[in-house]
Amino acid sequence: MLNDTLGINAAGHLTFDGQDTAELAKEYGTPLYLMSEDRLRYNCRLYRQSMTEGFGPDSMPLFAGKSFCLTAMYPILAEEGFGADVVSGGELYTALCAGFPADRLYFHGNGKTDREIRFGVGAGIGYFVVDSPEELEAVSDLARSMGKKQKILLRLTPGIDPHTFAQVNTGRLDCQFGVPLETGEAMAFAEQALRCPGVELVGFHCHIGSQIFSWTPFRDAADRMLRFMRDLKAKTGFVTRILNLGGGFGVRYTEYDPEVDIPASIAALAEHIKARCGEWDLAMPQLRMEPGRSIVADAGLSLYTVQALKRIEGGKNYAVVDGGMSDNPRYALYQASYTVYSANRANDPADMVCTVAGRCCESGALLQEGVSLPAPKRGDLIAMCCTGAYQYSMASNYNRVGRPPVLLLSGAGNRLIAKREEYPDLVKLDL
Ligand code: LLP
């Protein structure tokens, strides 16, 4: 099995977090997203403890809300000592609705509108992560007009290529996020921030990419950021208090993916940063990291029911299920790999190679190819593993298929944390 959240019980059913997935499918229907609270908290603690040990008690992991943004996430994050990043007024609203402490929120995004800026400043959020010179002026002016001084970080692009897939590679020079270090624009950006009366510059942010399996790209990014902090200090006397290195540690979607040792990676990174700060005579900044995927991905699992098996002569075997790119667009978008098991016949020989096809009306709307399953028949249950990140948050209503519910599996009792989207929900915005 892919990881220790999974097992097979005496009935031959796949278990997730110790619970019978076929029973859960019967009780809640499919498609169904499951989320394990224990795994989620375990992943949070890996970051919290490793960062405290490596970087000291004033460091803090921030959850990247874009990976899984639901009201129920935020009380868990608050209890686990996390902050959070938000990238839109909608994510900010969700966190605030959940009562998440506003001062632990970091507002990212390259296209913030005046309305969103006012919302964030008015809500008293901790930091804006300012993405462009235009946004800097806007935050400063709007904060001033509201009688406030807003704390900010500046987003810089360190020009590191972590060799991940192109769609999620965001630290390169030529991209739409942040301001590049290499061209000298970052220095001008920081000097502009120091002159803006409505903001207080506290530090810097970078994010180099996603699904990164080694700590060394983070080391290289940190080096460039620290060098910049040293140059800025020499030029202006400014002392950086917060350094945010973004998110991006990878997860095991399949047995071919390596496992990241998060505590060891963070310890190595911390040692490197401390040494560099000593060498370059910099005060050790408070560190932030922004994991999303590595907090929620392996805490999630999706269940589907097979509706048909199409055996194409000279072609593939298509197991057509009751969900698809509307609840998980990642294969259609990125050809993302997943591990797929039979949920109701987990002990049967997996003797048929299948393409798991979604129900959405286009030929690219597949969920996975080359999957070995016991020859699926209508009514069989299929589990896709490691689906906690960027599934629910990227789901759509394409074909007016409602989004599945999310069931939080918990020792304290299972709890729906998002309802199934029903037909009336689908027309509620129609005029
Ligand atoms: N911080 C910033 C500024 C980010 O842009 C991201 C992800 C993260 C943190 C979290 O990265 P993580 O730890 O989750 O790798 N939709 C794509 C992923 C896009 C990630 C974009 N930024 C996918 O489904 O793989």
Residues classed as catalytic: 361
CA dist 27 and 415 (Å) reads 12
The model's pLDDT over 348-357, given as tens digits with 9 standing for 90+, comes to: 999 999 999 9
* Residue of 293, 296, 333 to mutate, ligand 1, most atoms within 8 A of C-beta: 293
Q: Which domains does the chain have, with CATH numbers?
A: 6-36+297-427 (2.40.37.10), 108-291 (3.20.20.10)
- Which pLDDT score, from 0 to 100, does residue 427 have? 98
CA dist 105 and 178 (Å) reads 19
| Ligand 1 near 294 CB (within 6 A) | yes
Residue matched to tokens 């699904």: 211
User: Taking 70 as the threshold, does the pLDDT of residue 164 lie above it?
Assistant: no
Q: Would you place residue 163 in the very low, low, confident or very high pLDDT band (cuts 50, 70, 90)? A: confident
- Which pLDDT score, from 0 to 100, does residue 156 have? 98
CA dist 195 and 55 (Å) reads 30
Over the Cα atoms of the chain, what is R_g? 23
Distance from the alpha carbon of residue 207 to the mean position of ligand 1, in angstroms: 9
- Which pLDDT score, from 0 to 100, does residue 374 have? 98
| Ligand 1 near 1 CB (within 6 A) | no
Residue 190, CA atoms < 13 Å, CB-side half-sphere: 25
pLDDT higher for 128 or 172?
128
CA dist 298 and 194 (Å) reads 42
Q: Which atom of ligand 1 is nearest to the CA of 108?
A: 3
The model's pLDDT over 35-73, given as tens digits with 9 standing for 90+, comes to: 999 999 999 999 999 999 999 999 999 999 999 999 999
- Which pLDDT score, from 0 to 100, does residue 386 have? 98
Closest by Cα among 305, 300, 343, 340 to 14 = 343
pLDDT average, residue stretch 390-419: 97
Q: Which atom of ligand 1 is nearest to the CA of 250?
A: 15
- Specify the range with the lowest mean pLDDT, choosing from 19-28, 271-280, 361-370: 361-370
What phi, psi does 142 have (nearest 5°)?
-70, -40
| Ligand 1 near 112 CB (within 6 A) | no
Closest by Cα among 100, 72, 155 to 408 = 72
- Which pLDDT score, from 0 to 100, does residue 161 have? 83
pLDDT average, residue stretch 290-319: 97
Q: Would you place residue 363 in the very low, low, confident or very high pLDDT band (cuts 50, 70, 90)? A: confident
The model's pLDDT over 101-142, given as tens digits with 9 standing for 90+, comes to: 999 999 999 999 999 999 999 999 999 999 999 999 999 999
Terminal CA-to-CA distance of the chain, rounded, Å?
48
* Residue of 40, 46, 60, 66 to mutate, ligand 1, most atoms within 8 A of C-beta: 66
- Which pLDDT score, from 0 to 100, does residue 241 have? 98
CA–centroid distance for 90 within its chain = 16
Mean pLDDT over the full length of the chain: 96
CA dist 110 and 62 (Å) reads 18
- Which pLDDT score, from 0 to 100, does residue 162 have? 84
- Which pLDDT score, from 0 to 100, does residue 64 have? 98
CA dist 237 and 239 (Å) reads 6
